[in-house]
Amino acid sequence: MKNRVEEVAEVVRRIPAGNVSTYGEVGKVAGVGARYVGWVMKKAESVPWWRVVRADGTSHAPERSIPRWEAEGTTHKDGRVNMRRHGLDARDLEGLID
């Protein structure tokens, strides 16, 4: 049985390059709250944290996220990801999990 940190990390690792999801949507799939997802993103170094954004498409660390988004082809404007094009909701994320 996985612990909650592992559950969150597993969901985030499944987000494909060029896509993002929100703290809340990741939390729905992992069975935790959005704030807990944020805590895991801060602590876990082996996950693509830049693929988890706020509901408005912004990052907690835009100066570090933007170069990664650009490298993956994730479009953004003024530090805000185009969520219609790149955002995955809980249903999308569940479809990515084995």
Burial grade of 53 (CB within 10 A; 0-12, 13-18, 19 or more): buried
Q: What is the pLDDT of residues 50-92, one digit of tens each?
A: 999 999 999 999 999 999 999 999 999 999 999 999 999 999 9
pLDDT at 98: 60
Q: Give the confidence band of 1 by pLDDT, cuts at 50, 70, 90.
A: low
The helix/strand/coil state of 80 is: strand
- Whole-structure pTM value: 0.93
Overall fold of domain 4-96: Arc Repressor Mutant, subunit A (1.10.10)
Task: Looking at the chain, list the stretches that DSSP marks H as alpha helix, in order from N- to C-terminal side.
Answer: 4-13, 23-30, 34-43, 62-72, 83-86, 90-96
Query: Which two three-digit tokens encode residue 81?
Result: 């990801």
Q: What is the pLDDT of residues 34-55, one digit of tens each?
A: 999 999 999 888 899 999 999 9
* pLDDT higher than 60, residue 8: yes
